[in-house]
Amino acid sequence: MAEEPTQDPFPNGGPADGVVVYGGKTSRVVKVLWVCAELRVKAYHLPVMQQRSAAWFAAINPKKQVPAFKDGTLTLHESNTICHYLASKYGPETRAPDGTVSASNGGILPLTHEASAIASMWTEFAETTIAPAQNPVFFGLVRKGPVGCAASPTGEKLPGCPSDEQLRAHVLKLQQAWSIFNEALAGKDYVTGDRFTLGDVCAAVQANRLIRNNGFGCPELALDGFPHVVSWFSRVSARPAFQEQVAPYYS
């Protein structure tokens, strides 16, 4: 992995031959890198983490969070916005006057307005329903600490780790969230139907943690309770871009 920069290597905008993705490989950062790989967009990845509070990074993202992103003179933050921008600009789809889209090599935008709405709905669901329930479970049970922590070096609980009672409440919320998503996938190969789209990305990054950690060892999250999620994830996770950018980052 590249070293973390101490200043912005691209102060005057992104390079002509690619985009810049700022951030260590968190779930939201690998999501952006995955989309870049799907679309064959060259990404200059700068693993900013300790420098998030530095003045130079705050000038890129005033929230002092990752990911941040540059494409030429455009600067963005918010991972789903970045992914949608990439798919809209660099996907080779073309939109007809009636609003339908023709897809070809590598495109991941939904092909109709209806499919686009469904993709957006499940992206929002993954971001606002699955992730808030899963983050404390993942960090509490896998990394043994509060949300955002690095893994406990000893395996013992770190200060701020959720209590057993708190974890129980989050597990029940997470069970409900994955159950809803599981039912939505019944009879489908992907979120919008028979084609992989941007709508699969956000949920798949969350599913990577759920499935690769075997439901975090919780009976309520046993994978046989979410058969459609498991089947869908097997297809999504087989994609070369996923294997390259997301699969290694589940613990």
pLDDT of residue 99: 59
Q: What is the average pLDDT value for the chain, to the nearest integer?
A: 93
Answer yes or no: do 81 and 24 share one domain.
yes
- Answer yes or no: is 105 within a domain: yes
- Answer yes or no: is 197 within a domain: yes
Say yes or no to pLDDT of 38 above 80.
yes
Answer yes or no: do 187 and 153 share one domain.
yes
pLDDT of residue 179: 99
Say yes or no to pLDDT of 175 above 70.
yes
Task: Check which CATH number belongs to the domain holding 60 and give it.
Answer: 3.40.30.10
Distances (CA, A) of 61 to 52, 66, 118, 207: 9, 8, 29, 27
Task: Give 3's pLDDT tier (boundaries 50, 70, 90).
Answer: confident
Containing structural domain, residue 23? 19-90
Say yes or no to pLDDT of 100 above 70.
no
Task: Give 105's pLDDT tier (boundaries 50, 70, 90).
Answer: very low
HSE, side-chain direction, 13 A CA sphere, residue 114: 3
Q: For residue 5, which amino acid is it?
A: P
Overall average pLDDT of the 46-53 stretch:
92
Least confident of 30-34, 144-148, 205-209, 217-221: 144-148
Answer yes or no: do 53 and 77 share one domain.
yes
Q: Of 67, 90, 113, which residue is a domain's last?
A: 90
Answer yes or no: do 238 and 117 share one domain.
yes
pLDDT of residue 230: 99
Say yes or no to pLDDT of 22 above 80.
yes
pLDDT of residue 94: 55
Overall average pLDDT of the 135-150 stretch:
94
Overall average pLDDT of the 193-205 stretch:
96
Distances (CA, A) of 71 to 7, 12, 149, 186: 18, 11, 30, 38
Answer yes or no: do 113 and 227 share one domain.
yes
Answer yes or no: do 56 and 140 share one domain.
no
Concatenate the DSSP letters of all residues of the chain into one string: -PPPPSS-S-TT---TT-EEEES-S-HHHHHHHHHHHHHT--EEEE--SGGGGSHHHHTT-TT--S-EEEETTEEEESHHHHHHHHHHHHS--EE-TTS-EE--TT--S-SSHHHHHHHHHHHHHIIIIIHHHHHHHHIIIIISSSTTPPPPSSSSPPTTPPPHHHHHHHHHHHHHHHHHHHHHTTT-SBTTBSS--GGGHHHHHHHHHHHHTGGGG-GGG-GGG-HHHHHHHHHHTTSHHHHHHTTT---
Answer yes or no: do 149 and 32 share one domain.
no
pLDDT of residue 96: 59
pTM of the model: 0.91
Task: Check which CATH number belongs to the domain holding 148 and give it.
Answer: 1.20.1050.10
Answer yes or no: do 63 and 176 share one domain.
no
Overall average pLDDT of the 203-230 stretch:
98
Any bridge partners for residue 43, and if so which?
19
